[in-house]
Amino acid sequence: MLTILFDGIAYGMLLFILACGLTVTLGLMNFINLAHGAFAMAGGYITVIMMNRYGISFYWCLPAAFLVAAVIGLVLERTLYQWLYQAPHLDQVLFSIGIVFMAVAGTDYFMGGQQQLINLPPELSGRMEVMGVGVGRYRLFTIVLCALLAIALQLILSKTRFGSRLRAAVDDRRVAMGLGINVPVVFALTFAFGSGLAGLGGAMGAEILGLDPNFPLKFMIYFLIVVSVGGTSTVSGPFLAALLLGIADVAGKYYVPAIGPFVIYGLMIVMLIVRPNGLFARGGR
């Protein structure tokens, strides 16, 4: 049971890193970016190419995946996304869905449709026993790194000048610009940062989740579940939601494999009935 709990926490942490960029763009920027998984897939394939073709260390691949996905997000935000910030949500959904299918088709053409594998460093491979509990080394690494990223993200959004400017730009764009805030630059950096986090999550998830051209479609629903259950007003809500959903998904597939994939959806339904606006949403919203 403790091993399953540990694996569920690791899976939940990974879901949070993959989905927190969507939390930022959807919750703070009010933009529905269903192509978020495409940036995660980009980070995963960058890691595969660097490790398998050029023999670069896995530890260098993680920051590279973040930077490449962030640059791709910045370019797309400046050339395409910025024109849809004031568009109806349906237009945003259709546009981002189109980006997803283009990314899937392009990846399948250039990289092939087979599952991609990476070889982790020896110190991250295998399991170890901690007080009788089987602990995967890579999952422990994932938990520690994702926890640090979650704390850093919360501090950036709540304690820094940039976080204050971002919230001001979202609440009232005209007033923020009147106060001297460069709203387009703030939005561009925020979108790039969210895309970079997705790329980092994709790089870390290549070994746990698997990687193929259909990655954005397979995990899109998971990102949306984390954001909808956790809410978009805080980072803490999606973080707790990802942990709960990760543990429920791993435990369900282990104890009731016949209906294991349904457990996470059942939990989502219950949580949305109890807290329809998210775990930490204020009353009356």
Q: How far apart are CA 211 and CA 47, in angstroms?
A: 11
Best CA proximity match to 209, nearest among 18, 35, 33: 18
**194 Cβ partners below 8 Å, 6+ apart?**
20, 21, 22, 24, 25, 36, 73
Q: How far apart are CA 263 and CA 256, in angstroms?
A: 9
Kindly give the confidence (pLDDT) of every residue in the chain, 285 residues in length, as a single tens digit, with 9 standing for 90 and above. 888 888 899 999 999 988 887 877 776 677 888 999 999 999 999 999 999 999 999 999 999 999 999 999 999 999 999 899 888 999 999 999 999 999 999 999 999 989 998 888 989 988 887 776 778 899 999 999 999 988 888 888 888 888 888 878 777 778 888 888 888 888 888 899 889 999 999 999 998 888 999 999 988 888 888 888 887 667 788 888 899 989 998 898 888 888 877 888 888 888 888 888 777 665 544
Domain boundaries, the chain: 2-274
Q: How far apart are CA 37 and CA 18, in angstroms?
A: 8
Burial of 64-100, coded b for 16+ CB within 10 Å and e otherwise, reads: bbbbbbbebbbebbeeebeebbeeeeeebeebbbebb
Q: Which of these CATH numbers, 1.10.3470, 2.30.30, 1.25.40, 2.60.40, describes 2-274? A: 1.10.3470
Residue 51: per-residue pLDDT: 94
Q: How far apart are CA 244 and CA 55, in angstroms?
A: 36
Residue 284: per-residue pLDDT: 45
The pTM of the whole model exceeds 0.95: no
Residue 233: per-residue pLDDT: 65
